[in-house]
Structure 1
Amino acid sequence: MVRHPVDRPIDVTERSGVLGPANLPLFDAQWFTPAQSVRDVVDTYWSVEWNLPDGTDIDQQVLEFPAVTLSIESGSVPAPFMLTNVQRRAWSRTIRGTGRVFGIRLRPAGLAVLSDLDPSNVEQEHPVTAELDAALTRHLTTIAAETSPSDRAERGDRLIEDLLQKHPITESRLLANAVVDDLAESVRSRTGPALAHRLGVSERAIQRALKETLGMGPKAIARRIRLQEVVRRLSLPDADVSAIAAALDYTDQAHLIRDFKGVAGTTPGQYIRAMPSRGGAEG
């Protein structure tokens, strides 16, 4: 299998959802592209490593893509294996000391290949243990046996290729993948009848597919993806809240402010003013 060991660093200019991108230089954060054969299961692999001075704590927030993420963690972390479900608000963790995290961001169809867990019944962040899911624990243990992030990505590819032979993806779960792809391609994409027409299926089929795989409907998914784009644009120099609201089809600036504050706990203007060398924004 031929792959690129490292694709690129995680950067403020992309839709990563990292709130407070000035923190990124403090971490070694990379994306790893999955093999083509497993891309119906894995959206991306990623790795973050840090080594902070004693007494330095970073309260890091991430407005994550609407996906289930599995992670292998070591150092100053909550548990060796974690499952992060689709988040209703920005994910938050205090980063301190030294640590390493290797993440597997799954496509909507992905969890069912690795686990029997129902995303609707799993907490938003939960340690993965044999008591929770013995098979998933074994899979993560296999990947964790590799040392480097690139080797873990390759091992993940091989493991998932084998699992796909035993657990082929259903049409409903492939539809869920297609829905999220459509909504991610254009943050101004419409849901409802327009989305169903674009995909050639019923609205009910879309609702069922997303509920089965992500535990939420298309409007919530579309809202989350649009907010990720809001974070990206707010993090760039010369960000203008009213211009962002217009460009992303918010009803008005107040609508964007309510949406952003609901997940980030702060207004867009406060977020901009808190960034180094920024200030003066309204909202």
Structure 2
Amino acid sequence: MSYRESSPSPCLQEWIAAYWGIDSAVDSMLAAQRILPDGCADLICDFSGTSPRMRWVGTMTRAIVVEAGSRQDLFGIRFVPGGLFPLLGAPLSLLTDDSAEFSALPAQAWRPPLNGWCDDRDFAARCRRADTSLIAALSSLRLDSMTRLLQRLQGRPALPSATALADETGVGLRTLQRRFMEHVGVSPKQHLRWLRFERARQLLLRSDRRSVEIAMAVGYSDQAHFVREFRRFAGVTPRRWR
């Protein structure tokens, strides 16, 4: 199986995390793959069958195990947390831990170039066509306060509680929860939990630090808390994942 990933045009990177593609030859063997939550929503275009299909995949709160079919030709767009909402015009809570056909939930501000993607079998060509269509759609949209808040959270060294975040932004906790459910599909508490998990996962991946050191570094109260949270998101313990 060939997996490829590419960054969008710089002017799109506040909305789009990456373009990705999977191309696998016919193989009778099924390969199971564990997919971890990444805080993002995706548009997945499947060209494997006799007719192309597009579907949204919402924000995940837990790991899933996917068994690949015998033939795959996929092109995907991964939106940054909150990046899909301006294009979709519908609350992301409709897609949390779920998926929907594009026709059942069409984007109000964008029409994906499906026919062009069918013609462009080359991954780089599909990325260029996606860039062109998204730049045209986003030219009339502006980053709202919620999208900027999500971007700031990514870079904060210490993550606040949901209550503290509401106080910082000057809105009530219920209002903040409603905005998160619309823009991301999960509550602010759930999103902050995922951010902490992701920071821990990256440290596990890139360093040889002990689990207890990583737990303290990213803000878990103790190692037991870290192990419980990691298992909730990844389905396995930190030691097993590493």
The corresponding residue for 2:233 is 263
The corresponding residue for 2:79 is 106
1:213 to 170, 183, 190: 183
How many percent identity over aligned positions? 22
Matched residue SS, 2:31: strand
Matched residue SS, 2:146: helix
Give 1:1-283 correspondences, 5 Å limit: 27-51=1-25, 53-55=27-29, 57-75=30-48, 80-122=53-95, 124-133=97-106, 138-139=111-112, 141-142=114-115, 144-145=117-118, 146-165=120-139, 168-169=141-142, 174-186=144-156, 188-192=158-162, 194-195=164-165, 201-202=170-171, 204=173, 206-236=176-206, 238=208, 240-272=210-242
Root-mean-square deviation (Å): 3.1
Whether the 8 Å contact between 1:72 and 1:140 is mirrored in structure 2 is: no
- Paired residues, number: 238
TM-aligned CA deviation for residue 187 of structure 1: 6.0
TM superposition score normalised by structure 2? 0.81
TM-aligned CA deviation for residue 140 of structure 1: 5.2
Q: Distance in 1 between matches of 2:199 and 2:69?
A: 28
Whether the 8 Å contact between 2:61 and 2:233 is mirrored in structure 1 is: yes
- Give the direction of change, closer, same or farther, for the CA distance of 1:236–1:109 in structure 2 (3 Å limit): closer
Gaps in structure 2 of 5+ consecutive residues: none
Residue by residue, what CA displacement relative to the aligned partner does 1:60-118 show, whole Å, maximum 9, x if unpaired? 11223212111112338xx8322110111113311243323222111344324433432
Q: Distance in 2 between matches of 1:109 and 1:238?
A: 32
- Give the direction of change, closer, same or farther, for the CA distance of 1:154–1:259 in structure 2 (3 Å limit): same
Q: Distance in 2 between matches of 1:207 and 1:112?
A: 15
Residue by residue, what CA displacement relative to the aligned partner does 1:245-281 show, whole Å, maximum 9, x if unpaired? 1221211110011111122222223334xxxxxxxxx
TM-aligned CA deviation for residue 183 of structure 1: 2.3
Whether the 8 Å contact between 1:128 and 1:137 is mirrored in structure 2 is: no
Matched residue SS, 1:130: helix
Whether the 8 Å contact between 2:87 and 2:107 is mirrored in structure 1 is: no
Matched residue SS, 2:230: helix
Residue by residue, what CA displacement relative to the aligned partner does 1:152-202 show, whole Å, maximum 9, x if unpaired? 222122212222345x24x6xx2222222222224632234654576x543
Matched residue SS, 1:71: strand
Q: Distance in 2 between matches of 1:102 and 1:80?
A: 11
Matched residue SS, 1:139: coil
Matched residue SS, 2:43: strand
Whether the 8 Å contact between 2:39 and 2:80 is mirrored in structure 1 is: no
Matched residue SS, 1:259: helix
